[in-house]
Amino acid sequence: MDFSFSYYIGLAGIVVFTISGALSALEHKDHHHDLFSVFFTGFITAIGGGTLRDITLGNYPVSWVRDENILWAIFFGFLLVILLPRTLTKRKDELFLFDTLGIGIYTVLGTRIALDHGVNFFASALLGMISAIFGGVIRDTLMNEVPFIFRKEIYATACLVGSVLYIVLNVWNVNANWNLVISTTVVVGIRIVAVRYNLGLPKIKIFD
């Protein structure tokens, strides 16, 4: 099993997304959630994007079935939410940063996995983006909220930029760990700036 730098970064991303999903369920004002529903929301947020990527690539068994450490990371994230709910809720700014870091990590690792399976550059960039955003799409759908990709905030676009950058730096033979750090930082930076200054892509108007 691969116990490289990127592997542990990926597990950290699993923990972050689990916390994000579980807190969304725990805090939702219109629903009552028991322990299982909180766990399930965190679980599906953490594995949704990676599972769709693996299915698309024919990479079986999918990552969380193949690697039990992913399940332990999910359980750890869920445990933090159950034991420290108020502490985590009061630190929403920090959680936003962690969630943003999570999409950056997922983007880069998803792109790398796609490239390792011999997928063309364009598809690899899209699969990197899907790895990062699809768990959040499922989470928001379960919470009966509009997914981030349909809101004004720049979200999926930041991931796509990070995917493309990772591919370019990979072609230029930049060190894999440095590539991971640089590309993840770009995704995080774009996301933070977009939220800070309320930036979004221009709307397409078909009907007035």
Alpha helices by DSSP H, 91-174: 92-116, 121-142, 156-171
DSSP single-letter state for residue 208: -
From its phi and psi, is residue 124 left (phi > 0), alpha (psi between -120 and 50) or beta? alpha
User: For position 3, what pLDDT does the model report?
Assistant: 60
Coil, strand or helix at 153: strand
Residue 31 reports pLDDT greater than 80: no
Q: 58: pLDDT confidence band, cut at 50, 70 and 90?
A: very high
From its phi and psi, is residue 144 left (phi > 0), alpha (psi between -120 and 50) or beta? left
Residue 89 reports pLDDT greater than 70: no
Average pLDDT rounded to a whole number, residues 75-95: 78
CB of 161 within 8 A of CB of 190?
Answer: yes
Instruction: Map out the domains of the chain as residue ranges.
Output: 5-197
CB of 163 within 8 A of CB of 141?
Answer: no
Global confidence as pTM: 0.87
Higher-confidence position of 200 and 59: 59
* Residues in CB range of 199: below 8 A, 6 or more apart: 153, 154, 193
Residue 163 reports pLDDT greater than 60: yes
User: For position 172, what pLDDT does the model report?
Assistant: 96
CB of 21 within 8 A of CB of 103?
Answer: no
* Residues in CB range of 197: below 8 A, 6 or more apart: none
